[in-house]
Structure 1
Amino acid sequence: MSQKPEGRPPESIEQAILDLLAQQGPGRTISPMDVARALGSDHPDDWGPLMQPVRRTAVKLMKEGKLLITRKGRPVDPDDFRGVYRLSLPA
């Protein structure tokens, strides 16, 4: 079983996001669930609680210009988006 989300350093989430994006290459996207599963495991009890910390970290990285959060292929407002979203490196 993985660490509790509140016990996981934000830097490890940030690094996981950036590492997965680097593996995908330019123009490719990842799901926040991919990140949560990489940090936890395939079991929902492990990755489920990581979804909000992953989202908060993705918002921070988008505001820093390090990634894009998209919904239906279009960049979102990092302070106001809902639903299914994807992460990618900026062009």
Structure 2
Amino acid sequence: MSDPIETAIFEKLAKADPKSVGGKSIEPSDVAKELQPEQWQRMLPKVKAVALGLMRQGKLTITKKGKAVDPNSFKGVIRLRLPTEAETAAALAALPPVVEDDDDFA
């Protein structure tokens, strides 16, 4: 099952950046307005939270004044865009390692 906020973010980005090169950005408020036109201000924190999760997974970049922000310490006006290959690699490298358990429970 797909998250409607995540879907809306990527649909808006597909329209803004059809070649998926990570050049064009969108405002989180545009996504919130599309999802809830009458009460978009209430939706905005949810859009930003989903965007933050996507950034931590390397699927999205949050920018401020055109530069990628630290996902742990940003505030203020932001924009969303598709990540470059380097940004995706950096985000994936920052994820904690996956620990595989070799125990047999047989």
TM-score of the aligned structures, taking structure 2 as reference length: 0.71
Residue 33 of structure 1 aligns with which residue? 29
- Matched to 1:62, the amino acid is M
The code of the aligned residue for 1:17 comes to I
Shift of 1:10: 7.8
Residues 10 and 57 in structure 1, CA contact (< 8 A), matched pair in contact too: no
Task: List structure 1 runs of 4+ shifted beyond 2 angstroms.
Answer: none
| Ranges in structure 1 where 5+ consecutive residues have no aligned partner | 1-8
Taking every aligned residue pair, what percent have the same amino acid on both sides? Answer: 44
Alpha-carbon distance in 1 for matches of 2:45, 2:77:
13
Q: In terms of Rg, which structure is larger?
A: 2
Correspondence for 1:5: none
Alignment partner, residue 75 of structure 2 = 82
| Deviations, residues 17-60 of structure 1 (Å, cap 9, x unaligned) | 0110111114110000000001011x4xx100001100100000
RMSD: 1.5
Q: Which has the higher contact order (CA 8 A, sep 6+)?
A: 1
Query: How far off is 1:78 after superposition?
Result: 1.0
Q: Which runs of 5+ in 2 are unaligned?
A: 85-106
Relative to its length, the structure with more helix (as a share) is: 1
Corresponding residue number in structure 1 for 2:53:
60
Distance in structure 2 (CA, Å) of the matches to 1:17 and 1:62: 12
